[in-house]
Structure 1
């Protein structure tokens, strides 16, 4: 015997199956489309069929009435029938005529009566001479009208055509009534309308078949996805588009905006409540160049442009369907973030270079001291140790006394070590000073500016021919006295050729061989412009180039406080 627990489990499974079937019915796109289209088409066909069949039944009844009236008018003008009204026994003449016409026309009855409504003809001879039944003779006998009526006579309910009988002078002498039974009218109407109902049924079957084919086609067009899956994908796509860090802008083939995510709105400075979908791209982003992509169909990658007040790197690609261009999409990445990432990588690289240079330098010194100790020249080893200690101490003392910012001090100390390793004499002017500490932004800017200029100066100093200006030398001067930060870096290298003066600050231009050059001076120039300064080139007193950088004093902590 099954336990109560087994019964409960069975019931739960049954309910789950029922719920699953209902769930499937609710979620199946093909079934929904087929039922919706099929039921809608069936309802329309049934309503139309009911109206047309009802109208057809009315027409049949109307035609029967017109037919009865036409037969009655034909009988009323038969001369022998008219003359028979003056005979002693009118029924003897009228009855045969009326019965013959009844049989020929298929009418249920052809009744002829006098002005008192007494019958001179009737399908049942025993009813001759009796009054006509129905009470609808007045219009014909009194007003002389010919008409169609429905009434219940001695043979039952019928559609009757009635018309008066007139003598040669036009006087009303009798009435003719021709009737078709309503049962026959309904039978004929049912026989004819049944064809219509069969046609409606056939159309409904074809409608459901067409709905099935349509649902199958739609299912294939939407890649076999169900409506809830499409809705989920649409929501996921919208969430992805709005959450990614890149700006996305899409247009259709007419150049109207169809997609603009939140990051693109931020780049353009557009409020979230401003409606731009459907607007021409030229009105919102005149320099998007998406119209060029629509016309040419060519892809554009890693193009630089300004979007609002943001420098961005943009990719533009056409959207194609069946070989035709249906639109274009542009994605934007902030160049500022790329530059910041590059600066961070450069800073890490500089730190590695500094550590490597220091390790190399101290390794050489240790080898020298080790050699002197092995030779037993202890005094010389101690003298070298004191010499290096005094030099390092002097550099540290100078930097600690003249540079308040520890980050800049560390950068300069590393550059001094790197220059010695390269064989370049890096001199820091005794009048140099940085009395104020820098903001985090100021530290990054000053490190980038000094680092790039010193590296370029060392490279230029090494390019000079030996003996032109002595040993390779680089001189650095910096100060924050006054209203601005001032940095000067000069060398005794060959200088900058006159034909290159206008191009050295352009990104990608470099006189050095190799790839990925032409970044340092362009980056320094851009940082100067962004922070209220500039960079200029002069001839150095050492014989080479002298770069002078001016920066806004707001990069200092006290300057930032003043700015606020």
Structure 2
């Protein structure tokens, strides 16, 4: 049973395979182009060939008729033939003349008759004296016309030239009929039009060959892809461009915008209904340097610029095809996100350093206690333990009594430990208080603000003269009394030079040596603006700088009503 089922499945697959190949063959772009162009060209050539050959056949037939009429007119004008009509036996004179002319002109017959239509000449002598056949003599005999007609005579269907014979007084005395058989005319037409049909056939073959070459060229130009594959790739590309987090802007060689994704529209503050495609890049981004890339063909990486009030990092590359610059593409990402990521990494690194410092500090104290115990200095060991315990307990008690948010308490405790490790005296004002717990956003904002300000203050305090009285000092004050949150950090460092006061909050500006600086204060300033506050700088009572931060109280949680 299973064997028969396997045979049946194999047979179905065998039958489907050729059908699938035929389906793919029918869908082949190259075959479609070749058939479309070839059939179109063949139809045009056949139609044109049929028309031209038909016209040629008409012309040949008309020429044969005119030739017959010309021969008839020549015969009717022969004096001997006209004179013979007055003889007793006209046929004796007219028959030899007519037969000689027939042989010389190639006509099928040259018939001369009298006014009653009786023959005086004929290719068949036995038909002399018999009436002419065809019934088309009246126009010549009655009206004196010369004309061409087609009729069936005694020898068959022919094209005939007919003309009357006039005597010296202009009277009609007879008729001349010169005929060419229609079958011979058809043979002549076929002989003259056969070359045209051969040329049409040759052009059709060449047309299909050209269509094949064109289809191969088009297939190569589109990288061997089928139309449905190109359509799918276009849709995938559009989806990718619109979903990525970086802004993308592309221009052609004339500097006109050819592509802009949604993120770029957000960076440029363009409404979605605003159509920017085809517009010059300078009209949309006046400070763009894509035109420089188009002119020089140079790549530009990690360039900083502003799009409105948004700092971005830009990469610009030219689009080169066959050695020619066809356009340029710019990708840009928000520098604020980079700053925030850097700040997050800095905070993580700072926490690691803090934990390392704590571990180092407590390790030293444990070694000290262990040494005192080994020296049998129990009282000194207990005094050291009580001293450390009282200091830690005092810090914990102060933070637990003055700071309601545990996350901020942990941040401050870590900063105290870090400052002690650096040799900086960090003081928290006794009047400080944070009575209301914070929202998740408030925790993140205050951790960033307090952390950056304290780090900068400790660094500044360490820059003072080491021999000065009192050593490096940093003082922190915070409160949530009133309608706003207030944070004040001051140090006894060298302060901020007057020429740097305006630039101190600008992103990328720093008085510290080294790279990747100028992030902390810029981030604090932005957070203050985003949360309804501000940051100010003034001279500290300790002799250094004093930074004051004001934030909106909405960062605190609303008090929960007591249940009744």
TM-score (norm 1): 0.91
Structure 2 residue matching 1:113: 3-state secondary structure: strand
**C-alpha contact 1:478 1:486 (8 A) present in aligned 2:** yes
CA distance in structure 2 between the partners assigned to 1:479 and 1:4 by the alignment? 87
The aligned counterpart of 1:452 is 452
Deviation (angstroms), 1:500:
3.1
Distance 1:491 1:77, change over 3 A: same
Task: Give distance in 2, aligned partners of 1:541 and 1:469.
Answer: 15
SS of the residue corresponding to residue 341 of structure 2 reads helix
Aligned 8 A contact 1:315 1:331 in 2: yes
C-alpha separation between the residues in 2 aligned to 1:97 and 1:4? 94
The Cα offsets for residues 206-225 of structure 1, whole Å up to 9 and x where unpaired, read as 22222232233333333333
Please state how far the C-alpha of 1:279 moved relative to its aligned partner. Answer: 3.6
Write the deviation string for residues 30-78 of structure 1: whole angstroms up to 9, x where unpaired: 3333333323322222222222222211111111111111111111222
1:527-538 to 2 correspondences below 5 Å: 527-538=527-538
Tell me the CA shift for residue 308 of structure 1: 6.1
- In structure 1, distance between residues paired with 2:19 and 2:451: 71
1:283: how far off?
A: 4.2
Q: Which position in structure 2 is the counterpart of 1:69?
A: 69
Show the counterpart of 2:562: none
Question: How far apart, CA to CA, are the structure 1 residues paired with 2:551 and 2:369?
Answer: 44
For residues 5 and 170 of structure 1, do their structure 2 counterparts lie closer, same or farther at Cα, with a shift above 3 Å needed? farther
Equivalent residue for 2:103? Answer: 103
Contact 2:343 2:519 in 1 (8 A): no
Query: For 1:338 and 1:388, how far apart are their aligned partners in 2?
Result: 41
Q: Tell whether the 8 Å contact from 1:469 to 1:542 is kept in structure 2 after alignment.
A: no
- Alignment of 1:86 with 2:86, yes or no, is yes
Q: Aligned in 2, Cα 1:11/1:49: closer, same or farther, shift over 3 Å?
A: farther
Q: Report the CA distance shift for 1:519/1:222 in structure 2 as closer, same or farther (over 3 A).
A: same
Counterpart check, 1:502 vs 2:487:
no
Return the alpha-carbon distance in structure 2 between the equivalents of residues 497 and 336 of structure 1: 26
State yes or no: 1:222 paired with 2:227: no
> Which runs of 4 or more aligned residues in structure 1 lie more than 6 Å from their structure 2 counterparts after TM superposition?
3-7
Partner of 1:554: 554
Q: Quote the residue 2:121 is aligned against.
A: 121
Cα shift at 1:155: 0.8
Change (3 A) 1:471 1:303: same
| 1:517-557 residue CA offsets vs partner (Å, 9 max, x unmatched) | 23222322333333333322222111112122233333333
Aligned to 1:562: none
Residues 1:199 and 2:191 aligned together: no
Deviations 1:78-117 (A, max 9, x none): 2222222233322222222211111111011111222222
| Match of residue 59 from structure 1 | 59
**Secondary structure of the residue that 2:26 maps to in structure 1?**
helix
1:358 match: 358
CA separation of 1:557/1:281 partners in 2, compared to 1, >3 Å: closer, same or farther?
Answer: farther
529-538 or 104-113: bigger deviation: 529-538
Cα deviations by residue, 1:179-229 (Å, 9 ceiling, x for unpaired): 110000101111121111222222222222222322333333333334444
Superposition deviation, residue 408 in structure 1: 1.6
> Equivalents in 2 of 1:292, 1:358: separation in Å?
54
Inter-partner Cα distance in structure 1 for 2:465 and 2:272: 62
Name the CA distance, whole Å, in 1 between partners of 2:9 and 2:416: 83
Flag the 1:7–1:437 CA change in 2: closer, same or farther, 3 A.
closer
State how far apart, in whole Å, the 2-side matches of 1:314 and 1:40 are: 51
SS of 2:191's partner is: helix
Q: Is the partner of 2:101 in helix, strand or coil?
A: helix
| 1:429–1:477 Cα contact (<8 Å) kept | yes
SS of the equivalent of 2:536 reads: strand
CA distance in 2, matches of 1:279, 1:135: 82
Distance apart, 1:558 and its partner CA = 4.2
Which residue of 2 is the match for residue 385 of structure 1? 385
5 Å matches for 1:338-487? 338-487=338-487
- Describe how 1:145-294 pairs up with structure 2 within 5 A: 145-270=145-270, 272=272, 275-294=275-294
Q: 1:310 to 1:545 in 2, by over 3 A?
A: closer
Are the counterparts in 1 of residues 340 and 523 from structure 2 also a CA contact under 8 Å? Answer: no
Residues 339 and 519, structure 2, Cα contact 8 Å, conserved in 1: no
Tell me how far 1:7 sits from its aligned partner.
6.8
Query: SS at the partner of 2:58?
Result: helix
| Contact 1:267 1:309 (8 Å CA) reproduced | no
Identify if the C-alpha distance between structure 1 residues 45 and 436 changes in structure 2 by more than 3 Å, giving closer, same or farther: same
Shift of 1:270: 4.6
Distance, in Å, in 1 between the alignment partners of 2:168 and 2:498 is 134
What CA distance in whole angstroms lies between the structure 2 residues aligned with 1:270 and 1:516?
A: 31
Which deviates the most, 272-281 or 518-527?
272-281
Partner of 1:442, secondary structure, is helix
C-alpha contact 2:146 2:162 (8 A) present in aligned 1: yes
List per-residue Cα deviations over 1:121-168 (Å, max 9, x = no partner): 211122222222112222222232222111111111111112222223
Aligned residues: 557
Deviation at 1:28, TM superposition (A): 3.5
Per the normalisation by structure 2, the TM-score is 0.91
Unaligned runs of 5+ in 1: 560-564
CA offsets per residue over residues 368-423 of structure 1, 9 Å max, x none?
A: 22223223232332232222222222222222222222222111111111111111
Query: Contact 1:318–1:325 at 8 Å: present in 2 too?
Result: yes
* Cα contact 2:461–2:493 (8 A) shared by 1: yes
